[in-house]
Every structure is written in C-alpha cells, then in structure tokens.
Structure 1
Amino acid sequence: MPTSITLTELTYRTPDGQPLFDGLNLSFGPQRTALIGRNGTGKSTILKLVTGELTPAGGRVTVNGTLGLLRQSVQVETAATLAQALGIDEALGRLERLEAGTGSLEDAGEADWTLPARLSTALAETGLPDLDPHRPLMTLSGGQRTRLALAALLLEAPDMILLDEPTNNLDADGRAAVADVLAGWRGGAIVVSHDRELLRQMDTIVELTTLGARTYGGNWDHYVERKALELAAAEHGVATAERKMVEIDRRVQAQVERKAKKDAAGARKRAKGDAPKILMNAMRNRAQETSGENARLANRMREEAAEAAAEARAQVEVLQPLTVRLASTGLPAGKTVVQADSLTGGPDLDNPVIQDLSFTITGPERVAITGPNGSGKTSLLRLLVGELAPTSGAARVRSTFAILDQTISILDPTQTIRDNYRRLNPDEDENACRAALARFVFRADAALKVAGTLSGGEMLRAGLAATIGGRTPPQLLILDEPTNHLDISAIEAVEAGLKAYDGALIVVSHDRTFLENIGIEREIALA
C-alpha cells in the first residue's frame, strides 16, 4: 500500500478547552508537503497527532507506512552520546563486541555490518564529518545537533519524515544541509516551516488558518501567485458587494418615491369623496400593509448586502499584505553612520572572536552581518554599540540608533505596548503614540496588551513601533536575528516596516529571502 497519512473529521481542543480543529480533513502522500500558517493555528499539533503523541477529541488519523520525526529542538541529556542520539548504540555495541571477540551468538545473528558505512554516508549527506559515535552529544553546537538528527532520519529510512521547523537557529550551511536532505528524499515528507527558501522546494503547500486547511499544489512561489489571484478576486468581491448596496438603496429610494406619489394621489381622491368610504378605507389598509411589507423586505435586502460586503472586506483584510508609512530619519547620503578601525574583541578577552576588523557604513546603507554560528555576529553588534569593550582598535556609531536583540529586551515585559512606547518616546503625546502603534497594527485595545504576553511576531512589531514608528526615527536600526521563530505573516509585517524605514540598517540574519526583501546592499562576512 502506498505511503499515506489521512486525517478524517479530526477534532482537537487545547488543554483549556478551546477548539483548534473541528472536522478537519487532510491527506498526505509520498511527496514533500509544507504546513504553513500563523503561529497558534496548530501546525506542530498536527505532527503530534500524526505520531500519536496527542490524542484527538474526535475523528481519526490513519497512517500507512513508517514515520520519522525531527522536532523543533533537540534535547540534550548530560550523559548522552552521539550513538544514543542516532539510535544506534545497541547495534554499534554489538559490532564492537564481535570485533573484540567477546560477542555472543545472538550478537552474530543480529549484527548489521552495513551500519558503519551507512553512518558515514548519513553524516556526510548532512554536512557532518565522521564523528566518533561515543562522543558526548553536548559537545556539539545546536546546528550540529540538528544535522545529527537529520542523519538519524537517514539511518532510520522511514517511509515518511516529519520535520518541525528544521532550519530554526541554523546558519547558512545548516540550512543548506536540510535543503539537500529534502531534495534527495524519495519518500514522503511533511515540513512545518517559515523558511521561504525551503518552501520553494516543496511539492505542495497546505495553509492552516482559523477557518481550516487549504491545499495549494506547487511550491511557495506558486502559492504566492495563487494568493495574489485570491486577493484580486476578494477585492473584486468587495467592489461588487458595495455596488449592490448602492443599487439596493437606489431601488428602495425609487420605491419610496413611487409610494409617496401613489399615497398623495389616494389622499386627493379621498378628499374629493368620489368613492365609497368603505372602499377607500380598504385601499388605505392594503397600502399600509404593502408599505410595511416593502419596508421589511428593503431592510432585509440592506442587511444581506451589508453582511456580504463586510465578509468581502474581511477576506481582503486577511489577504492584504501590511503596508507601513514612517516618518523620515533625515539621514544624509554622505554621513558616516558607523566606523570600525582594526576592531578586536568579544566576550572572551583571551580569545577574541572579532579580530582586526575594519569597515565603514555611510548614509542609509543596508548591511547584513553574515557568517556561520559562532563566528561572532552578535558580539560584533555589542562591540559596535558599546556593550562590550574592545581589546584593541575602536568602533563608533556616529548617529542616533536603536538596537533590537533576539529577545527584544528594549521592551519591559510587565508594561503594556502603549506604556513601553511612551517610556521610550517621552517627548511624544498620546495621539502620536497611538498613531505610531496603529501603523504596526496595534489599534485601540491591542495597544494595551502586556508585552510579556505577546507572540514573537507581535513582540518584534511592538519593538519596531517603539523604535522607528515615531515622529523622529533613529538614523540607524540594528537587528539581531529578527525572524527567528516568526511565522510568515509576521515576517512579512516586519519586512513592510523595514521597507518603509529610510535610515541605515545593520541586520544579522541567516534568512536570505528576508535579506533580499528588505533591500540589503552589501554584506560583512565573518569567518
């Protein structure tokens, strides 16, 4: 039977009783399928339901074939070895006992002599060297542990692999390793990801929303094209619905005017006394009944047209990309914004990760700091803004600036978005505060959310609003891995804000699509 996963009338509720899915129907075959959607729509939950880690409240999950799962984070036990993480410690021990001459007949009967060669191949395909399988797992970096988990999937060779945010926290080489594994995978795959480069390798896109799931054949680029067509259709629907409302109002007004003329004629006839009184009263009663029925019909038609128009507008709002307008920083093209001269330093004074680095950023340049994990990208940012003192050389920021680190620590998690803004922009009044927050989609009560309760995407939007959304944005904005753990809609919202910003940008990111979309002009590559 072909490999497949089928969700039939699947219902699931969160621990607090909120419905996440209700009657969800989905099927996955032997192709590469991406699950996308806003954070909280249940993408990772679907993977857990498929593997049996969670139990649905209703419906069923049917799996034909074997499954392998790569989780968002690889947990590290203190004493765990690479062999244990790969799931080969028993098989490897059997081979080692046989090679040492201490193996049993059972060892000989169950030995897998192909294991060493398959292990070397799996490590190579995921970009890892021939590592000692007895090496402690905790000695590997996070990116290396993710690659090792991919190697474990290759060794296991299941019919279907499930990958939950496989490129989070990976550098460019690590992302390429994930992409290479998927490109060469011949079974089925379900990939939860916000990595648009990875999504371009998919055969099918499944989008989860609060309304359910919708399947789009093709990769990310095809999905974007389809969504653009859906937006155009939705905008046409709004125009049609609004025209219908105008037409109904016109028809109702014409009916009212005809009725008024007819009533006036009847009144004149009654005044003349040409017809019997009983007949005139009956005609008046019929007219009143008809008038009431017409009024009820007109109200119902108006309500239906208004409801259709509201639904059409809501659909456009869901599909319409965010656009942002910001005040100008007034940064001149020739102004030196950042200067580093023979800069050397880092957290470890004895082993500085940044060594003899010199560069200048002039005017509204957009510069990316790139390099593998551990190359000192975050340390460089801290050196530039004075959070770390250099061991030699110098660095200076020569303009107003704001820095948003990976945790958006500029925001006080105990304060509301509005109060954070007022604290960081003390010279601006309430109207300016509300206008700035509205530009980043924090309108009305949304501005009163406590920062510590925000999602990653909301937190970053709030940080951008508080730093560049005001009347006098800083001339330099520094961002450290801004897209980590954000869903695609949140990333696009951030991109919209940065596109509208006319100051200088320094960005640390491994997300190539993000860097392209915000107009990065050059890179400073760290080894």
Structure 2
Amino acid sequence: MPTSPSRSASPSALATLDKVAARTPAGVTLFHNLSLTFGPERTGVVGRNGAGKSTLLRLISGDLSPAEGVVTRVGTIGVLDQRGEPAPDETVARTLGVGEALAVIERVLAGEGEAEDLATADWTLELRIAEILAEVGLADIAMDRATISLSGGEQTRLGLAGLLLARPDLILLDEPTNHLDVEARRLIAEVLDRWDGGAVVVSHDRDLLRSMDRIVEVSGLGVTVYGGNYDLFAERKATERAAAERDLAGAERTAARVGADAQRRAEMKARRDAAGRRKGAKGDMPKILIGARAERAENSGAGDRQLAARQAAEAEAALASARERVERTRALSIPMPSSGLASGRTLLVLDDATWEAPQGRSVVGPVSLRLTGPERVAITGPNGAGKTTLLRLIHGALEPTTGRVERPSRAVLLDQEAAILKPDETVVEAWRRLNPEGSINDAQAALARFLFRNVAAHREVGELSGGERLRAALACVMTGTKPPQLLILDEPTNHLDLDSVAAVEVALRAYDGALIVVSHDADFLDAIGIERTIAL
C-alpha cells in the first residue's frame, strides 16, 4: 500500500506548463500564457463549468496539445478514466490493466508456459491486486467479471485501483466522487491522503478539496494559484469579493466626481465667456484687448477640455477594471418566489409504504413519513438503497406496492439531469409547456429573473451546462401561477460547479416551501438547513 506522503516546500516538477494557451474547437481562448508546475503535492482544480478544467488535465496528460507553449513531463502519469459505459466484453482484469500479466501466471501454473512466461511472471501480482482491491472497497471481486456489470461507483473505484497498481508518479482525477455515496467518497479521500506521488484533482466536492495542498482556479480571466486547502481558498475568495465590491463603489464615486467637476468647469467657462461678450458689446474696450482675452479664454477652454477628457478616460478605465473584477467574483443569484405554504399544511403522508420490483424484489420500505409545513428532510443511504425509488414514490411517478401514500399538495421532482426539461426544446418553449396558461411575455419576464434574458432564453436545453439546466428548471417550475409548495431534489449538485452550488444553496435557503433532498454532499445539506434525516 502507498505510504504516507511527505510534503516538500519546493517539490520537483512532474509536469510543467510554460506559456501555454488552450482554445476550444470553435477558437475561443480558455487561457493563455499559462506557466504552472505540478509536483508531488495534491492540487485541487476548481472553476465554472466550461472554464477549461478538464482541458487542463488533458494538457498535463498529453492527450491534448497546447495551442501555444510547451508542456514538459517527468516520470509517468496516470489518468482515472471516466469513459462512461465500458465495452460488454471488458473484464475487471482488463480494466485494472493486469489481464495479460494474470494470463502469464495461469499458463505457468497450468504447465503451458514458455521460457518467456517463466521470466516475466510476477508472483507478487495477485497479492498486490488483493490488497489494493480491499483498499478501494472491492475485496473478493472476480477478475473475469464483466466491468459493465458493476455500478458507476464501483467502476470508479476499480479505475482508482488500476492507478494504484500502476504506481504512476502523477495521477489525474476528473470529478472522482461524482455519483458516489458517502462511504465511497470517504474511501477516495483516504486513498488520496495516503498517495505519496503527485495528484491533480478536478472536483466540486468541498470535503475532498479540503484535503488538497493547494487550489488552482481556472476562470475566463486566467488561472490563479491559492496555497492551502478549500477552506483557505474560500476565505481568500470572500476577501477578494468584498475588496472588489469596495473598489467598484470607489470607482463609481470617482467617475461621478470627475463628471461633476467637468460639468462645473464647463459652466464656469460659459459664464466667463458670456460676461466677456457682454463687456465687448459695450464698445469701451480696445479691439486688441478683446482679441487677447478671447485667445486666452479659448486656450483655457481647450486646456480644461483636455484635462476633463483625460480624467474621464482614466475614471472610465478604472471603473471598467473594477466592474470586471466584480463580475469575476460575483456569485450567481437565483431568485425564489414565495410558495405561499402555510405552516400547518400537510404536504405528504406515507404510511408503511413499500415498492417492489416486478420480479417481487423489495426495493424500498416500509417507510412512514408525514411532512407538515416548510420542513426540510434529507434521505440518505448507500448507492442501491432505494433513495431515488422513494423519491419517485413520494412524487407520484410510482404507486406503492403496499401501504399508503397521500399527496395533497403539488410537488415537483428535479433530478441531477433536470429531466423535466426536454433536450431539443428551448428554455422559453420549456417554460410555456410547463406553464400553459402563461403568455410569451410572461415566459420572457419570468426567465429574465433567472438570468435567461433575450437570446439566452432561446437556447436549447441540450446546450446548457448542468448549472444552467437546473437554473432553467427552477425558473420553469417556480415562476408559474402556482409555484410548488414541495420541491423534491435528487442529487441536484452532481454536475454543478462550485459557484452554481453556492447559488443553489442560497436559493433553497430562501425558499419558503418544503424540501425533500437526496444528496451525498454533507456541506450542501447543512447549507440548505436540513432539519431531519431518513436513513435507508
């Protein structure tokens, strides 16, 4: 097993990016002139969806060449492959990368090995495989089992086991805890904590990011490195946000003062010019003196105009810079209309409710639950415990096999894919489908409140990021004539970046209806004010 890592203040570089630029296939620059090193420390990479986090990993691994600059690698690099569904014939041994090595051992033990097999057989391999599989929570799994038969979380653990077996110098992990339950998340964090090589981890899992040695933030304005873990990063970002807001307020005051000064000087000059014209009209001043005064006034006016223009340009540049900093640090806001829920209203009753699969296998229950008023309930449990099935039972997509479910109030179920929306419809079309009594003007006004203004409201749902889809879904269900009094959320933060997670937390904290939430994110559950928990 890997030993506890020793951290160096100036670790030797395993990957170095020198003046690197990266662009999307459409030619949009993600970052440029980036110089950054990665050594035997743990680096967490954060940023908004689409900012270039996964692109950064692909540059480090060599899977992508930079548009400009050079990437240098020392030692070996391993990538946790999140490819999606494996091939039907792929086995656990093949996913681990030990299929051929185990075949060599089998041939030798069967007396069918050749001289080359005898020379290459690794007699420690089976023991190392057993130790590492136990370390990732997959003890006793058969090597010939089809990888596709494993759950998504088990496949992630298996991929991590393959990295541990290969022992690269630097490992790259892209959202390794997505779709994992609390126990599996803890296991990933423990494995990383024991890892004695370098690790670069793209994640929005705040608990995992707390174990990092530094945080790299990727944004539209470049890449910034913060020493320390996520909590120190969040504290620094809050300080930067407050400073940016103060600087913007100061720049606005300066711009207003410069404008007022220029106006005052222009008015004073106008009064002086008018007085001079009146004096000249009396005819008691020599023409040569009148001309000299006019020339002085013109020169003075030109100087005043130049000074005013320079001051205005400087103030406008400072104001634009301050606004840019605020835009970079400002959190997304999601407004939540009132649901009008009375504190004593019963929203849901489950009385010994169960649900069985068609084959008769018990999936969930018996569960008893009464939800009254704006309560906030979390449903927890390991993957496969029936959490999503229970949510569908609560919502009405399923009816109980035994027991009773009463749903006296309208509820809306939002899953991590925001499946209430259709990929090929625009956001406006989705709003009107879900709110048929509303007009096109109602739709545009409602969506604008959720930052889908003008052309943004006519984007297709399939083009939206995870955070945008959830925001669009909330806009569609919360801004109709009758907002739901119960929101049912199934892993709502799984595909969200940290900024979007923070915005959803603020919105749900302000929501005055009831919540039933499935989430493995303890920080999220705490932030939205969960009052009780049902553990499956």
* Residue in structure 2 matched with residue 235 of structure 1 by the alignment: 245
Alignment pair present for 1:444 and 2:467: no
Residue 427 of structure 1, CA deviation = 4.0
CA contact (8 A) 1:42 1:208 kept: yes
List gaps (5 residues or longer) in structure 1.
none
Residue 75 of structure 1, CA deviation = 4.3
Question: Following superposition of structure 1 onto structure 2, how do residues 185-264 of structure 1 map, counting pairs within 5 Å?
Answer: 185-264=195-274
Indicate the SS of the match to 1:353: strand
Match of 2:399, as an amino acid?
A: A
* Residue in structure 2 matched with residue 108 of structure 1 by the alignment: 118
Question: Following superposition of structure 1 onto structure 2, how do residues 159-170 of structure 1 map, counting pairs within 5 Å?
Answer: 159-170=169-180
Indicate the SS of the match to 2:142: coil
Residue 268 of structure 1, CA deviation = 4.3
CA contact (8 A) 1:74 1:145 kept: no
Distance 1:83 1:36 in 2: 33
* Higher mean displacement: 194-203 or 111-120: 111-120
Distance 1:38 1:365, change over 3 A: same
CA contact (8 A) 1:12 1:20 kept: yes
Distance 1:324 1:525 in 2: 30
Question: Following superposition of structure 1 onto structure 2, how do residues 117-516 of structure 1 map, counting pairs within 5 Å?
Answer: 117-428=127-438, 433-470=443-480, 472-516=482-526
Residue 322 of structure 1, CA deviation = 3.4
Distance 1:95 1:450 in 2: 54
Indicate the SS of the match to 2:217: strand
Alignment pair present for 1:12 and 2:22: yes
Match of 1:396, as an amino acid?
A: E
Residue 188 of structure 1, CA deviation = 0.7
* Residue in structure 2 matched with residue 54 of structure 1 by the alignment: 64
* Residue in structure 2 matched with residue 44 of structure 1 by the alignment: 54
CA RMSD of aligned residues (A): 2.1
Match of 2:453, as an amino acid?
A: R
Distance 1:88 1:414 in 2: 43
CA contact (8 A) 1:481 1:507 kept: yes
Match of 2:474, as an amino acid?
A: L
Residue 206 of structure 1, CA deviation = 0.5
Match of 2:344, as an amino acid?
A: G
Residue 469 of structure 1, CA deviation = 3.5
Residue 356 of structure 1, CA deviation = 1.9
Indicate the SS of the match to 1:390: coil
Residue 325 of structure 1, CA deviation = 4.2
Count of residue pairs brought into register by the alignment: 526
Distance 1:419 1:300, change over 3 A: farther
* Higher mean displacement: 115-124 or 130-139: 130-139
Distance 1:465 1:190 in 2: 35
Indicate the SS of the match to 2:31: strand
Distance 1:396 1:321 in 2: 39
Indicate the SS of the match to 1:35: strand
Distance 1:328 1:57, change over 3 A: closer
Distance 1:73 1:395, change over 3 A: farther
Match of 1:142, as an amino acid?
A: G
CA contact (8 A) 1:165 1:191 kept: yes
Identity %: 52
CA contact (8 A) 1:2 1:64 kept: no
TM-score, scaled relative to structure 1: 0.94
Distance 1:275 1:215, change over 3 A: same
Distance 1:168 1:112 in 2: 34
CA contact (8 A) 1:32 1:190 kept: yes
Distance 2:519 2:269 in 1: 69
Match of 1:466, as an amino acid?
A: C
CA contact (8 A) 1:468 1:501 kept: no
CA contact (8 A) 2:47 2:498 kept: yes
* Higher mean displacement: 274-283 or 382-391: 274-283
* Residue in structure 1 matched with residue 6 of structure 2 by the alignment: none
Distance 1:471 1:307, change over 3 A: farther
Indicate the SS of the match to 1:158: coil
Q: CA offsets per residue over residues 385-428 of structure 1, 9 Å max, x none?
A: 22223221121222121111333232243433233223323444
Residue 13 of structure 1, CA deviation = 2.5
* Higher mean displacement: 353-362 or 78-87: 353-362
Match of 2:350, as an amino acid?
A: A
Residue 42 of structure 1, CA deviation = 1.3
Q: CA offsets per residue over residues 186-241 of structure 1, 9 Å max, x none?
A: 11100011111111111111010111100111111111110111011111111211
Q: CA offsets per residue over residues 284-336 of structure 1, 9 Å max, x none?
A: 13422431342243134224313322331332233222344433222222322
CA contact (8 A) 2:379 2:387 kept: yes
Distance 2:208 2:103 in 1: 37
Distance 2:50 2:229 in 1: 23
Match of 1:386, as an amino acid?
A: G
Residue 257 of structure 1, CA deviation = 3.9
Distance 2:84 2:452 in 1: 35
- Please point out which of 78, 90, 94 is paired with 2:100: 90
Q: CA offsets per residue over residues 226-285 of structure 1, 9 Å max, x none?
A: 011101111111121122123213322332343234324433442344543134224313
Distance 1:170 1:2, change over 3 A: same
CA contact (8 A) 1:479 1:508 kept: yes
Distance 1:96 1:174, change over 3 A: same
Residue 470 of structure 1, CA deviation = 4.3
Q: CA offsets per residue over residues 150-196 of structure 1, 9 Å max, x none?
A: 11111111111100111111111221121111111111100011111
TM-score, scaled relative to structure 2: 0.92
Distance 1:255 1:385, change over 3 A: closer
Distance 1:229 1:140 in 2: 44
